[in-house]
Structure 1
Amino acid sequence: MNAVSAIEAAVFPEEARAAFAAAYPDRAAKLSHGLAGHALLTLEALAGLAERMPAASVEYNLGKLPLGVRAEDTPSNGLTLGETIRTIETNGSWAVLKNVERDADYGALLDRALAELAPLVERETGPMLHREAFIFLSSPGSVTPFHMDPEHNILLQIRGEKTMTVFPAGDEELVPAVQSEAFHAGGHRNLDWRDGFRERGMAVTLLPGDAIHVPVKAPHFVENGPVVSVSLSVTWRSERSVAEGELHSLNALLRRRGLPVGRIGARPEAQGARRIAYRIMRKLGV
């Protein structure tokens, strides 16, 4: 199958779209997809892509990490990015290529995937905003530590096997409010880990052709299987996710001044007065 025909083929079959519609936006759900074996997602194609990307759009390091690790403690693997990808089967590394949609071919692939889901998304959270794509490459046994992300996300497994353990979004024992506030102010995505958390998560094993919907800011960690893993993450924002970020940022401003913080409801996009207050305070530099 060539790249053009793969892009034109359906990415998410009918049953996957139905499962996604039943879960979106608040619940994790296992899905299926048709991109395993795609020509744009081979190791050699990804190495070439990585080498022409700006340095700020790539991140890579040693892959066998504890579930809880501070960003500043993440160890380098001592290789170039191209070397990391081409030898990832044996070098014990993890890498992510960010915003690959800026490349025309990968942008077309993202557009095709999200076009299939857009009607389902729009009826729940409105138009898809700020659409992006990320590619993750992992050596056997690699671990992506406990963290959260600010986007609506579907992770598509392309090659290899991994297990993602996903936790409920909005659980303040897992992610205290002050940590959410710091995150929206530019704090790192990694979270504090306690062994007692594991039993509260849903572990989902992903093989080529499997995918998982991960809600906004649902904490998760990933454990790679015994072979190289390649995954494609397609993401978007919504008025709901933007509003949630604004309200946490407002609470951070209020907390710093010793003022009462507000509750963030299940539909933060409807909390218009508080969102306007935040925008005014930000504009005034309060």
Structure 2
Amino acid sequence: MTALLTADDAAFENLFPDQPFRINHALAGDPRLTLPAILQLVKALPRDRIEYNSGKAAVSQDPSSTPLVDLDPEEVVTQIETAGAWMVLKRVEHHPTYKALLEEVLESVARARGFRDVKRARFTDIQGFMFVSSPNSTTPFHLDSEDNFFVQIHGDKQFAIYDNTDRSIASEDQIEHAITKHRNLKFEDAYASRGTVNELKPGEGVFVPYIWPHWVKTKDSYSISLAITWKTPEVKRRNNLYVANSMLRDRGFPQQAPGVNPAFDAVKVAAVQTMALLAAPLRRSEGLRKVIRSLVLGKDANYYYRDKAKPKQVGM
């Protein structure tokens, strides 16, 4: 099998999965990753798999004041060159066409690295996130709860990644909030020296390790990008701890960071896993997913249903 995604052998040997590195890919001409195909995907996805807003956000954007756009999801795609918008289509692996695409990419990486299949390469819980952005749009400073091969399909992008291994950029409490409430982080100018800005063109990309903060900017053309993500068992366990800690903290019970009390951590992980198993059949319904998110993550967990710009207030 020809590798659809490649990097220097030394990068995989010496940096993966703890440090970022540049990658190359053969997806830029794939018909599944064009605007017409993405428009059909938008039509097929449930509404809670689509998030979008104005691309005129700040790197250090307050989520509560994120500027919106007065467009429907399909209009964002058809007018992307002039819409001034940023859009992410979440969990595209639920669509069989894109499930196949993600698996093709990671299978080729696994085989190229000498593994029999994706499971043995520790690519589990595979998910995909499609990004469609207008020219000169910003994705604010944030972190994500998975490892990520981020590939650029159309247009040029700046992708800046910041080292937070000593937790001086985002503390454990801030990481918990980003994973369970909203991904955005506050950006300080002092962080600049700890970041690497990657200039990405179609056919290029970057590996983003778990919870490494980053911001992204498009340039003078509209952009299409794809995040091919996965979670190892260790990452899933840590995310479960953040969810448990957040739920308990919201109910007035202060919590220690993951790893401080391993015995209690094990109890919390088991409880979250049990709740997830019980909720799994209910999550097939968009309405019930919305309710579950509110119960587990808080009243603002469904913030991405803010479709359009708020109407201007008419003076009295």
Which residues of structure 2 form unaligned runs of 5+?
A: 276-316
Q: How far apart, in 2, do the equivalents of 1:228 and 1:235 lie? A: 23
Contact 2:178 2:185 (8 Å CA) reproduced: no
Contact 1:30 1:210 (8 Å CA) reproduced: yes
1:88 corresponding residue in structure 2: 80
Contact 2:152 2:201 (8 Å CA) reproduced: yes
Contact 1:247 1:274 (8 Å CA) reproduced: no
Alpha-carbon shift at residue 126 of structure 1 (Å): 6.4
Which residues of structure 1 form unaligned runs of 5+?
A: 1-7, 265-270
Letter in 1 for 2:69: N
Q: Does 1:46 align with 2:27?
A: no
2:174 corresponding residue in structure 1: 179
Aligned positions of 1:115-154 closer than 5 A: 115-118=107-110, 120=113, 127-154=122-149
In structure 2, relative to structure 1, the CA distance for the partners of 1:276 and 1:22 (3 Å cut) is: same
Alpha-carbon shift at residue 125 of structure 1 (Å): 9.3
Letter in 1 for 2:185: L
- 1:10-64 superposed Cα distances (whole Å, 9 cap, x missing partner): 3124x45653343211100001000012111111111121122111001111101
1:68 corresponding residue in structure 2: 60
Letter in 1 for 2:3: A
Alpha-carbon shift at residue 199 of structure 1 (Å): 2.3
Alpha-carbon shift at residue 254 of structure 1 (Å): 8.6
Q: How far apart, in 2, do the equivalents of 1:258 and 1:140 lie? A: 43
Q: Does 1:216 align with 2:210?
A: yes
Aligned positions of 1:20-39 closer than 5 A: 20-39=12-31
Q: How far apart, in 1, do the equivalents of 2:272 and 2:129 lie? A: 30
After superposing the two structures, state which structure 1 stretch, 167-176 or 99-108, moved more.
167-176
Alpha-carbon shift at residue 274 of structure 1 (Å): 5.1
Q: Does 1:278 align with 2:281?
A: no
After superposing the two structures, state which structure 1 stretch, 206-215 or 271-280, moved more.
271-280
After superposing the two structures, state which structure 1 stretch, 207-216 or 245-254, moved more.
245-254
Name the SS of the counterpart of 1:171 in structure 2.
coil
Alpha-carbon shift at residue 262 of structure 1 (Å): 5.9
Name the SS of the counterpart of 1:180 in structure 2.
helix
In structure 2, relative to structure 1, the CA distance for the partners of 1:35 and 1:174 (3 Å cut) is: same
In structure 2, relative to structure 1, the CA distance for the partners of 1:280 and 1:159 (3 Å cut) is: closer
Name the SS of the counterpart of 2:125 in structure 1.
strand
Alpha-carbon shift at residue 246 of structure 1 (Å): 4.0
In structure 2, relative to structure 1, the CA distance for the partners of 1:154 and 1:160 (3 Å cut) is: same
In structure 2, relative to structure 1, the CA distance for the partners of 1:124 and 1:214 (3 Å cut) is: farther
Q: Does 1:12 align with 2:2?
A: no
TM-score in terms of structure 2 length: 0.76
Letter in 2 for 1:26: D
In structure 2, relative to structure 1, the CA distance for the partners of 1:274 and 1:258 (3 Å cut) is: closer
Q: Does 1:204 align with 2:198?
A: yes
Name the SS of the counterpart of 2:5 in structure 1.
coil
Q: How far apart, in 1, do the equivalents of 2:67 and 2:23 lie? A: 33
Identity of aligned residues (%): 31
Letter in 2 for 1:138: S
- 1:52-92 superposed Cα distances (whole Å, 9 cap, x missing partner): 21110011111011111122211221011111111111111
Alpha-carbon shift at residue 99 of structure 1 (Å): 1.2
After superposing the two structures, state which structure 1 stretch, 245-254 or 37-46, moved more.
245-254
- 1:128-148 superposed Cα distances (whole Å, 9 cap, x missing partner): 221101110111110000000
Alpha-carbon shift at residue 124 of structure 1 (Å): 12
Alpha-carbon shift at residue 216 of structure 1 (Å): 0.2
In structure 2, relative to structure 1, the CA distance for the partners of 1:250 and 1:81 (3 Å cut) is: closer
Contact 1:145 1:190 (8 Å CA) reproduced: yes
Letter in 2 for 1:151: E
Alpha-carbon shift at residue 159 of structure 1 (Å): 0.5
After superposing the two structures, state which structure 1 stretch, 126-135 or 139-148, moved more.
126-135
* Aligned positions, number: 270
TM-score in terms of structure 1 length: 0.83
Q: Does 1:162 align with 2:162?
A: no
Letter in 1 for 2:238: E
In structure 2, relative to structure 1, the CA distance for the partners of 1:47 and 1:262 (3 Å cut) is: closer
